[in-house]
Structure 1
């Protein structure tokens, strides 16, 4: 049986996650929907199917679940891991439990490791004992496996051992079974770099995925726990929200326009002013004290690192499309208190007679010169694993997520040349340092890898 024609895949690139609609006859099931579930509901509408179930593979740590939104909109039942600890009505799915959608059976498989309660769902066509696909959530993913340290370092090794047993279970499935994971490329929930492909087959993964090729448990555990990337601090707030059951909102709310005076009042009351323009434009002119997080796919993840959860936000964004994208990304991770946007942008701020800040840029050639001079002025804000793989002589390291806590130490008394791999994370760090009173130069195009190549 070929499921491809009955399957819709909806990708959320900034979080590195997949959500699915699987149809059979006039019925459908949604798997791990994001909070802005309208994308999946539109897919169901296009197919003319009724959503009967929402399946959750685990208590999500990286986004607010859209299951409650789907139930409110469609009347679908929520089904999820029996040991999830949900505080709302749901169908508990333990080993062997199943739901039926059209002619298909979706059978629960206990697959602990990424989280203790993690449950995958094998898809069986009529009369078949052999699965044709498996929704694997955050357990087996394309080219990797889900990390096991999200619930704390003290539980990471035990969960990695459970994950090893789970990988053995996947390895025993039929070669041709489709692998339909939730986490993938771009997700901080992976133990190692996933491949770019969003889906795969068990056979392809058995042949190439390191998580399925480790010769024994000890090797698997060692490989899973080495070189893990830092993950956003907002993750700590997601599981409690998802266990309790997120409030149903219905749709992403659009923030209202705000005058410069209103923006000042919001900031004085505790809101964080976030400027979503690209780094070079921000460096040229910005509201003093604002945080620059350029609007790319991972915008929300870095907000979740740098702005404490629950803090009200006001935005500077270049246009209506950018405002909508920024607000949607924030909505997905529970940053609902977006109180407004600066009407007219930085030009309106300047025209009001208020002060505007700026700082200079640096080029990749400047980075090379700083490294050769041994100035010690370069601050590298990439992940530790990136730094360990190669960095500029004499540079200092502080991952962008750690910059707010280390500002007094990082400012020093001289100029700081801020760099990363591309100019994206360095834009954030430069804005933080400048707001704290440091003299900065921002490498806004290219970064450390480019400089290292030029140095030979």
Structure 2
């Protein structure tokens, strides 16, 4: 087997923040006997994956249809999907099970316990997480939860957090799956740097030990059920599963699973992590304390354009327009932030919106207020107090003024840049910039725009691009609200590549978490 020195490994790991690089195999972790085919749950088991887009979060509904009972692992805050599944299959939810204290979304365990009336909260007490609410079933390494004929055995896998627990699923004498939370992802592992600099080194070492030891006696045919997929910042380079992801596949292909040098593991892992979202410490604190229980009817008050305008003029709210980038460019209320109507509003709302300031929202004509209210609640934004009755048409037809701007095609950008007459601004992840950006572009990470406005020349137009235009529209809206002549590029980098234009790459890619970049 080839050997690599640490510098060579880190050169590969620098791009892992976006999951587009290959880290060479270093060594193999000792394993139990492997089989080529994935284990499947028995016929009496109901297993449903509930995906929360934007956060790339996976929760799991697991039930025994013969026994009439089910549990949910890592539930999100809007829990109706689990209640609907229980009703569909005629099952009673007995437990809401947590793998760890989450940092990227508000846990729905307490909400599910309340709304179901039957679910008990089960969570790890390894590492003394110090919950501020009652955990009905405290779990330690080796403890089991029974779901009819299904057994879920806790395996303490610290590193991402001190208390992190994975769950081995078995029926009879046969194990068929493992729910790995934020410990093991497809192609990656959980990041150990979310509990402060003072704890990062000890957590990284604990994570290395968990990788080396926690699953060594488990059969390779076990299916892997992680809590996140591609796009989540909870790990560097998380991949989408190909076919049925198994423990054997991760042992073979996961770069972190193949390192038996602790220093190399830690250095490569930390080098690859993307920036930590600003709202994550708030999520961590809220989940440890016990999330507020929400009303099942959380709709904003719908008001007329006249009342909506007075509210905006008061300065007491933040104005959120959830229409598409094209609709927003065509006409919007001055000062609005545009975060489009999509589940990804959870992540970017968390990054960009103030949790302590009321939100007044505008929606697409074909949309509703219920969905974005749920999407924002997933990241603790429960302050959507007001909605415009109708849509932008109601505002325009009332005779009120609005702002608009012309977007730019990638063809126009190609013709005009590099240029001293306009600023071309890239607002993507740092690792995206490193893998290729437009010639003549300036870099500014989207969430940092509000606090780094002085780094953008206000005397000339600003053209903003991202991966496909969604983030560009957010950035453009923030700049325009602050008096810039800004416009976005629909399609952005994806359209640029599709049009056959070349990008440029920096000679020396930076650390994935470092948001400073130069051309």
Q: CA deviation at 1:319?
A: 3.1
User: Do the aligned residues in 2 keep the contact of 1:252 with 1:331 (CA within 8 Å)?
Assistant: no
- 2-side partners of 1:347 and 1:412: how far apart? 31
- 1-side partners of 2:245 and 2:168: how far apart? 15
Q: CA deviation at 1:18?
A: 0.9
Residue pairs, 1:21-32, within 5 angstroms: 21-24=61-64, 25-32=67-74
Specify whether residues 404 and 113 from structure 1 end up closer, same or farther in structure 2 by C-alpha distance, changes over 3 A only: same
- When structure 1 is superposed on structure 2, of 363-372 and 399-408 the one drifting more is 363-372
Which of 81, 87, 93 matches 1:39? 81
- 1-side partners of 2:233 and 2:382: how far apart? 22
Answer yes or no: is 1:7 the counterpart of 2:7. no
Residue pairs, 1:202-213, within 5 angstroms: 202-213=247-258
Residue pairs, 1:218-367, within 5 angstroms: 218-251=263-296, 253-267=298-312, 268-319=314-365, 321-367=367-413
User: Do the aligned residues in 2 keep the contact of 1:234 with 1:308 (CA within 8 Å)?
Assistant: no
The alignment of Structure 1 onto Structure 2 pairs a total of residues equal to 454
- 2-side partners of 1:404 and 1:38: how far apart? 35
Q: CA deviation at 1:374?
A: 6.0
- 1-side partners of 2:112 and 2:278: how far apart? 27
Q: 2:123 aligns to what?
A: 80
Specify whether residues 319 and 448 from structure 1 end up closer, same or farther in structure 2 by C-alpha distance, changes over 3 A only: closer
User: Do the aligned residues in 2 keep the contact of 1:132 with 1:177 (CA within 8 Å)?
Assistant: yes
User: Do the aligned residues in 2 keep the contact of 1:69 with 1:250 (CA within 8 Å)?
Assistant: no
- 2-side partners of 1:448 and 1:43: how far apart? 37
- 2-side partners of 1:424 and 1:307: how far apart? 16
- 2-side partners of 1:425 and 1:94: how far apart? 42
Query: What SS class does the counterpart of residue 452 from structure 2 fall into?
Result: helix
5+ long unaligned stretches in structure 1: none
Higher percent of residues as helix: 1
Q: Deviations over 1:152-182 (max 9, x none)?
A: 3443333222112212223542111121111
- 2-side partners of 1:436 and 1:155: how far apart? 38
Which of 479, 501, 507 matches 1:433? 479
Q: 1:189 aligns to what?
A: 234
User: Do the aligned residues in 1 keep the contact of 2:100 with 2:124 (CA within 8 Å)?
Assistant: yes
- When structure 1 is superposed on structure 2, of 199-208 and 416-425 the one drifting more is 199-208
Query: What SS class does the counterpart of residue 492 from structure 2 fall into?
Result: coil
Q: Deviations over 1:390-442 (max 9, x none)?
A: 22232110011111111233243111111112111110111111111111222
CA RMSD across the alignment = 2.2
Specify whether residues 351 and 397 from structure 1 end up closer, same or farther in structure 2 by C-alpha distance, changes over 3 A only: same
Residue pairs, 1:407-446, within 5 angstroms: 407-446=453-492
Q: 2:107 aligns to what?
A: 65
Q: 1:143 aligns to what?
A: 187
- 1-side partners of 2:276 and 2:285: how far apart? 17
User: Do the aligned residues in 1 keep the contact of 2:40 with 2:223 (CA within 8 Å)?
Assistant: no
Specify whether residues 184 and 153 from structure 1 end up closer, same or farther in structure 2 by C-alpha distance, changes over 3 A only: farther
Which of 173, 176, 195 matches 2:221? 176
Which of 438, 463, 469 matches 1:392? 438
Q: CA deviation at 1:287?
A: 0.3
User: Do the aligned residues in 2 keep the contact of 1:232 with 1:302 (CA within 8 Å)?
Assistant: no
Q: CA deviation at 1:447?
A: 2.9
Q: CA deviation at 1:448?
A: 6.9
Specify whether residues 176 and 455 from structure 1 end up closer, same or farther in structure 2 by C-alpha distance, changes over 3 A only: closer
- When structure 1 is superposed on structure 2, of 354-363 and 169-178 the one drifting more is 169-178
- When structure 1 is superposed on structure 2, of 272-281 and 158-167 the one drifting more is 158-167
Q: CA deviation at 1:330?
A: 0.8
Answer yes or no: is 1:134 the counterpart of 2:174. no
User: Do the aligned residues in 1 keep the contact of 2:355 with 2:383 (CA within 8 Å)?
Assistant: no
Question: TM-score when scaled to structure 1?
Answer: 0.93
User: Do the aligned residues in 2 keep the contact of 1:288 with 1:435 (CA within 8 Å)?
Assistant: yes
- 1-side partners of 2:360 and 2:295: how far apart? 22
Q: Deviations over 1:193-238 (max 9, x none)?
A: 3225697211121121222122422222122112322232221211
Question: TM-score when scaled to structure 2?
Answer: 0.83
- 2-side partners of 1:321 and 1:391: how far apart? 34
